[in-house]
Structure 1
Amino acid sequence: MRWRHSVIWRFAALVFLMQIACVMLALVAVHHFTSQSVNRASREVAVSLRDDIAATYAAAGLKAAAAAVRFRIATDPAKSSVILLLDPRGQRIAGNLSGWPAGVGRSESWRHVDLRRSRHQDREPLTMGIVTTRFPDGTQLLTGHVVENDLRFGGYLEASLVGAVLLAIPLAGCAAFVSAAIIKGRLRSVIEAAGAVGSGDMERRIKPTGSGDMFDALSEEINAMLDRITSLMNEMRLVTDGLAHDLRSPLTRMRAVLDNAMRHSKDEISTAALEKALDEGDTLLRMLDAALFISRAEAGIGRDSFIPVDVGSLLQDFQEMYDVLAEDQGVVIEVDAPAGLMVRSHREIFGQVLSNLIDNALKYGGDRILLSAQRQDGRVRIIVADNGRGIPEGHRQEALRRFARLDAARHISGAGLGLSLAAAVAHLHGGTLTLGDAAPGLCVSLILPAMMDEPNTTAQ
């Protein structure tokens, strides 16, 4: 899928994953520190109880330690402490446990166990954190703190963290979408300007937002580049136009001189040579006109003269125009185009392109030429196809270049500008020209934007 390779999609995915990762790390850190804090507080309570009772035992003996245990239990406001004191023989002396818990060692630094306290209304065992100590004479002391509520709080915290993650996913998705939309919005103006310039609107520029960021810097650099390109194109247009006009005058005078010489020539060989020179002069004039036309078309000159043109009617006109010439060469011209298929074009320019394409088909094609047109996705596809030898796929791009002459056509007169002129006109209309295989023969497709609202009156 192409969208997977999109830089904007990758940027949006990166924003999404980074936000989810940040949320996860933050929540895991909160959970870790909260759990550690609660666990540390409970352990400190149990250790404090142990140290106090152990100090009493060391100072005043077992009875005083037992009294201290009873006092601690009686004065526990939250009833969350657990204490058990056993004598060296393992007999219970004081505490709120009925006996030593099974599986609990004599020297536990800290562990969680489920216990039920005696003299309490504990219906179910409660989870407690305990610390156990063995005195030198064998006396055993267990102190602890009920952590059931703390663990329940931890469960609530974990559930809240899961909910926060689930909520963060759509929020991160929205943030990624908005970020991608912002990037696309900033790039859209660049794309639209580039598309307008590519269609021939050399005055189109990108309007900076004034943010001073890299997008504005890119816009300024592209605008400067377009200014330079426009300046060079204007200079080149002036040079080519001037050169074409300057060359046309001496060529016209030369043709007039040759024509006059041919009329006064009495020698057949000289007359034939003069006729050939006149033909070459006419070819040069046509080449100048075609080259000048291509330069103007590629520069976008002529769009202001566009009118609605019925493609089907125009193709019928060209069929009638070329029928006699085609019949003399043993070629049949057919038309397959629906009525009312409209494009905006300069009729004379469009006609010149069709004339060049039909001429090429007559020169290099077989005995059948098909002129067709059809609508495809809001565009009009105009096809000139023949059943000749065609052009190999590897040489089709070369055939679209100016003055290109493939080996098979070098023995036939021509300037090699027919297809490049058609491509220039397609560019003038915001369309494209493609060469394909008619199997057999060449299929030339001129794809132009279709008129959205077809008028009732058309240019004929």
Structure 2
Amino acid sequence: MFSKPANPILRSAAWRISLWATLAFAIGTMLVFAMLHRFVANDIQRRSDAWLSGEVEVLSDVAERTPKNTLYSRVVGEIAELASREVPNRQRASTDGNEDDSVFFLQASDQGNAQLWVGSGDGAATLSAIRSTNALQDTPFDVQVKGIGVPFRVASVRIPDGSSIYLGLSERDELHVLHNLRIRFLTLWLAIVLLGFVIVFYATRRMLGHVREITEAASRIGQSDLSSRVPNTESNDEIGHLARTLNHMLDRIENSVHQLHTITDSLAHDLRSPLTAIRGKLETVLSDDMRVDHAEPIVSAIDELDRLTEFLNTSLDVAEANADALRLNRKEVDLDEVVRSMIDLYEPSMSDKGLAVHIRSAGAVRVLADPSLLHRVIANLLDNELKHLPASCTVSLSLQTANEMGVLTVEDNGPGFDEEIRHQLFERRIKGRTSRGHGLGLAFVEAVVRVHGGTVKAANRALGGAQLTLALPLCQAQNEESKHALALTNG
């Protein structure tokens, strides 16, 4: 039987499949973005380096050709200011309105003194940061100036008079472009991942929902009606193919079970007929006046024929039950009433043997079962107690409900089950050393309880004696499952 988990959505396969698929998609797209981000950053830096290298060459050529007079600083400074207006990737001016906050021009002598500075702020701090950087000549490098949060990309060139010219470009605009790219990507990435998860979860849950319906319907088919079929879909996909395959398989099973019933009915008829005829002839002979010593073998033969007939019926029933082909006529049965009626039937025989019988019941316990089979199950249990218990023992029966099950416990204070067969009690032809039966009683009990959707357990009590516990689904629980199965089958 199927039980509903506490969190059906979080524990479902659709949730796990959607989660893993979304995680794989999220990681994949994040790796793609990381590569794209690196490509864009490298491309922006390549463009900035190309501009810096070109402009610093122009400025070095101007500085080299301009005479070293009073106009030198003015001419070179104006050329540097003009170059700053052609900065690539410029997004905005600084908040203080200074247009030179993103570019600086610095000319320094070999002694490390600043000869010419064009830009905002103090050129000494910039020159100190440049001197502390181990950079190759004619290769742009990064410089972090103290007091400025954004680094500069700097290109340098050495002119013939021994001085060096540095042209720096703030990476503020480049970082701003990359920051906007990351924000937009993460927003779009989050929306796509959530949308993808919802789509995958919906599609997977819908697909697995058909599988769940087929599984639940198939689990109930055979317990009550072999003619029922799993719900079939109109689609020609794998789910529809699975449903059609299961229905074809159920058709073959139904035919096989029908053939099994035909064979067992024929076998039972063919065997019962001669046994009944022999018994009738023996009874006819027994009815004639004859000596007692001649009548005893005939009575013994009739008893053996009765045992053989019972063995035949039980063997066929166990075989059908093990094949899930036992024919059931389910009705609402009060288990308490059945147990009490069977105790009333067996109590005289138990009293004659010196056995005491007690029953504890919580009241009516209604189950959906075949009344005749249920009577035979209780009869088998009481027969075992009657046959195997020594005198002066007590048989106790308790009936209660637990977890939507009716639980019947039969225990005694006798010798208990033989240890060597305790784990094989429900197998056919397994019996104790002192048993005179055929070893089919408990096998029949287990088979009937199982086809009714219940369980049976056997154990030896700690204080001595045997204990058998039967659990059968209550009528209300079975009705709810039957309605659910009918809805799935007809859906």
Classify the TM-score, shorter chain. Answer: 0.7 to 0.9
Find 2:38's aligned residue among 32, 40, 43.
Answer: 32
Q: Which amino acid aligns with 2:414?
A: G
Find 1:290's aligned residue among 314, 317, 330.
Answer: 314
Q: Which amino acid aligns with 1:26?
A: V
- Tell me how far 1:252 sits from its aligned partner: 0.6
CA distance in structure 1 between the partners assigned to 2:189 and 2:209 by the alignment:
30
For 2:362, what is the secondary structure of its paired residue?
coil
1:280 aligns with 2:304: yes
Find 2:155's aligned residue among 131, 148, 152.
Answer: 131
CA distance in structure 2 between the partners assigned to 1:93 and 1:345 by the alignment:
105
2:383 aligns with 359
For 1:282, what is the secondary structure of its paired residue?
helix
Contact 1:200 1:300 (C-alpha < 8 Å) held by counterparts: no
1:245 aligns with 269
2:396 aligns with 370
Give the TM-score of the pair, scaled to structure 1: 0.81
For 2:254, what is the secondary structure of its paired residue?
helix
Once the two structures are superposed, residues 139-195 of structure 1 have per-residue CA deviations (whole angstroms, 9 ceiling, x without a partner) of 311112121232244345556666677777866765675466345413312321331
CA distance in structure 2 between the partners assigned to 1:396 and 1:41 by the alignment:
86
- Tell me how far 1:392 sits from its aligned partner: 5.7
Which runs of 5 or more residues in structure 1 are unaligned? 117-122, 455-460
Find 2:440's aligned residue among 409, 417, 423.
Answer: 417
- Tell me how far 1:104 sits from its aligned partner: 1.5
Contact 2:114 2:127 (C-alpha < 8 Å) held by counterparts: no
CA distance in structure 1 between the partners assigned to 2:309 and 2:28 by the alignment:
72
CA distance in structure 1 between the partners assigned to 2:230 and 2:165 by the alignment:
82
Which runs of 5 or more residues in structure 2 are unaligned? 91-98, 479-491
Once the two structures are superposed, residues 1-43 of structure 1 have per-residue CA deviations (whole angstroms, 9 ceiling, x without a partner) of 9x99997776455324313322432342343233333333332
CA distance in structure 1 between the partners assigned to 2:227 and 2:60 by the alignment:
93
1:325 aligns with 2:349: yes
Once the two structures are superposed, residues 109-166 of structure 1 have per-residue CA deviations (whole angstroms, 9 ceiling, x without a partner) of 23333449xxxxxx96653211122235423111121212322443455566666777
- Tell me how far 1:336 sits from its aligned partner: 0.8
Q: Which amino acid aligns with 1:330?
A: G
Distance 1:448 1:65, change over 3 A: farther
Q: Percent identity?
A: 24
CA distance in structure 2 between the partners assigned to 1:344 and 1:32 by the alignment:
71
Once the two structures are superposed, residues 370-421 of structure 1 have per-residue CA deviations (whole angstroms, 9 ceiling, x without a partner) of 222111111211222222333367745632233x2323244x2x33332232
Distance 1:149 1:206, change over 3 A: same
**Residues 92-241 of structure 1 mapped to structure 2, 5 A cutoff:** 92-93=115-116, 95-96=118-119, 98-99=123-124, 101-105=127-131, 107=137, 109-115=139-145, 126-155=150-179, 157-158=181-182, 178=202, 181-182=205-206, 184-241=208-265
For 2:130, what is the secondary structure of its paired residue?
coil
1:405 aligns with 2:430: yes
For 2:127, what is the secondary structure of its paired residue?
coil
Q: Which amino acid aligns with 1:408?
A: R
Contact 1:430 1:449 (C-alpha < 8 Å) held by counterparts: yes
Distance 1:186 1:56, change over 3 A: farther
Once the two structures are superposed, residues 203-232 of structure 1 have per-residue CA deviations (whole angstroms, 9 ceiling, x without a partner) of 233334344443344334333333322222
> How many residues are aligned here?
442
Contact 2:421 2:432 (C-alpha < 8 Å) held by counterparts: no
2:106 aligns with 84
Give the TM-score of the pair, scaled to structure 2: 0.76
For 1:101, what is the secondary structure of its paired residue?
helix
The farther-off stretch of 389-398 and 306-315 is: 389-398
- RMSD over aligned Cα atoms: 3.8
1:391 aligns with 417
- Tell me how far 1:341 sits from its aligned partner: 2.1
CA distance in structure 2 between the partners assigned to 1:332 and 1:445 by the alignment:
19
